[in-house]
Amino acid sequence: MVRDGYFYALALIAAGVLVGWFAQPAWTLLPLLLAVFFLWFFRDPERVIPDEPGAVVSPADGKVTDVSFVTVGDEKQVRISIFLSLFDVHVNRSPLAGIVREIRYQRGKFLNAMNHDSAEQNEQNIVRMEGDDGQIVVFKQIAGLLARRIVFHPKVGDRLERGQRVGLIKFGSRTDVQFDAAASLQVKKGDRVRGGASVLAYLQPKGELASAGRYSATGEAR
């Protein structure tokens, strides 16, 4: 359970008791039901984290709404978008083991997270990580129509383990993950994923990618 759930629940229970005391007992039902909802919403289940080399795990629970290729600078990357509904676990996890190299918070709109433009226009937290094998993975915590607060605990320079809890986005949102296009994808549009447990792709070590680039399709050195 994320501790925020206890704060919301206790406040609502107190409000329910006061309303029932000064008004009618029946009026306590709504705040008590909301308290139960918040306790459920801020659940934080344990997950079995995959330990295969090169695995990039989902940073969030939800539905894969897009798998597409984008160009960043001169690099071709794949972007996986995950939509978190109001009913999904909203705790975010690190997609790989490595060092946090950059954190950038971008103010913006609160469009529906299913909207294609939300990836660029919505308020979001952008995290750039360097994995143990040298690969770079970027993941974004993107606010949605209902989300108004993004939480991210680590700082630049911190080391994170694959599947480690890093924060959350409250009340419906989207998470994007970007990495090298040469990765072996394990999910497709429409799949359901679980944070820290579902493998999105397998990355090749940076050294292997560089070696592969020195050879032609016939196996001769370039």
Strands (E) in the chain, as ranges, are: 55-57, 62-72, 75-84, 91-93, 98-106, 124-131, 136-143, 150-152, 159-160, 165-169, 173-180, 184-185, 192-193, 199-202
Active site residue 216: no
Rounded distance, CA 109 to CA 1, Å? 29
Q: For residues 82 and 62, is the Cβ–Cβ distance under 8 A?
A: yes
Residue 80, Cβ density class (10 Å: 0-12 exposed, 13-18 middle, ≥19 buried): buried
Q: Which residues pair with 82 in a beta bridge?
A: 64, 175
Q: For residues 168 and 142, is the Cβ–Cβ distance under 8 A?
A: no
User: Catalytic one among 173, 184, 198, 211?
Assistant: 173
Looking at the annotation, which residues are catalytic?
173
